[in-house]
Chains A and B, each alone.
Chain A
C-alpha cells in the first residue's frame, strides 16, 4: 500500500511514520502534489499553530490540493482543526472541509487546565475509523482548541464540555487525539484507517 504523509512546517510528523512502520507500512513524507494525488491513503498530521500553518499551506498550494483529494485522508490534531472552516487560533480561515468552527477551551473551574493534555476516553463512535473495541477506551490528547459536537462528529470526548474527538465526511477522516501516541488502541484505529 502507498501511504503519503503531507510534509509541511509542523513539528514531529515523524512519529506518525514511525507508528505506520510498526504496523508494517513504509509511508512517504512529501509535499509533492503528484505523489500525494497518487497515494492510496494520505495522512495530514499536525503539531503547530493554525494561522502560520494555513499561510504555509496556501503559499505551497496545498490547501486546494488537500480539499480535492479523493482517497481516504486522515487529519490528526491540528490537521483536523485545519480541515474545519475557521479557527480562533490566530483568527485563521481554514480549509472548510467540515462546516464547523474551532474554538478555544474556556476553563469553568480551577481544575480545568488548558491545554487538555493526557489520556481521555472516546465514546459515541461511528465511521470506519472505529470498531466496537475502542468504545470508552483512552486515547492521548494535547490541544488548547476544540471542535464542538456537530453533524460530522464521529467520536465524542468530555473535557470542560463534550467536544469532537473525531470527524468524518465522505473520504475525509480526522482525529483530535494522536492515534500514533495512543498505545494499542491508537494502533487499532490507524489499522482501521489503512483498511478503508
Chain B
C-alpha cells in the first residue's frame, strides 16, 4: 500500500533555518542540511525547503544550499520561494531538487504551471496555496500570507490541477501556528474534488492532529515545522503512533 507521508518543512533565510509563527516572528532552528539529515534518519518521507529571502544574493546562497542538500540527503525534497519563471525552476532542479513549490508566482501567472508541467513533468510541480477562512469563504493570499486576492481556495486548486500541478500543498492560515489541528473539512473537500495528492499544512500541535488530517481530511501527506524543529513531536514516535492507529506509514 502507498504510505501516507510525513513532511517536515524548513523555512530558510540567508542559508539558515527559521520558523514562522502565524507567518511572523521568526526563531532560529539550526543548520538546514544537518536538520534535514536528522529528519531523514528519523523517518521523514520528504523534506520541503522554503526560501524566504528576498534579495538576489540570498537566491544564490539558497541554490548553493540546494546542492548541499542534494549531495547529503537520500530522500526526495521540494524547494520553494523566489520562483518567478521557468529559468528559476531549471536552476533549482539542476541543483538537485526533486520538485519545486510555486505560490505567489502561480497566482500572478497561472500559465507558469503549464510551462513547468510541459518542460519538466507534472510530478515536479507542487502548487502551494495559503488561504484564510473569512466571512464564510477560503481566501487565497499572496506573499507569504500578506496580500489577499480575489481567488478562492477550491476554484484555484481545481484550476491549478487542470493546468498541470502534480500536488497541492494547502496551508490554512487560519490554523497555522495555532497548534489545534489541520483544516480537515477543507482538506476533505479538496480530496473529493481533485485527482492529485493533497499535502496538509498548518495547525499540527500533537500526534492526533496528523491522524485526523489523514482520516478526516483524507490528505496524502502532512507537513509541519515547529513541532518537529523544537522536538515537541519526534517523527519516529509519530509514525509508530500512526501505524498503531491503522494508518499506512513507512517505518
Contacts and interface: CB of A to CB of B under 8 A. Distances in A.
A193 B167 CA distance: 32
Nearest to B75: A183
Contacts of B98: 12, 15, 181
A107 B250 CA distance: 23
Interface string B157-197: 00000000011000000000000000000000000100111
Given A115-B123, A120-B3, A12 B93 contact: yes
Contacts of B156: none
Nearest to A121: B1
B79 to A, nearest CB: 12
Contacts, number: 79
Nearest to A180: B74
Interface residues of B, number: 30
Contact of A21 (B45, B71, B76, B93): B71
Given A21-B71, A159-B2, A118 B96 contact: no
A48 interface: yes
Interface string B213-229: 00000001100000000
Contacts of B166: 115, 117
Contacts of B13: none
16 contacts: A11-B124, A12-B96, A12-B98, A15-B98, A18-B70, A107-B195, A110-B195, A113-B195, A113-B196, A117-B197, A119-B250, A120-B2, A138-B3, A140-B76, A181-B74, A183-B74
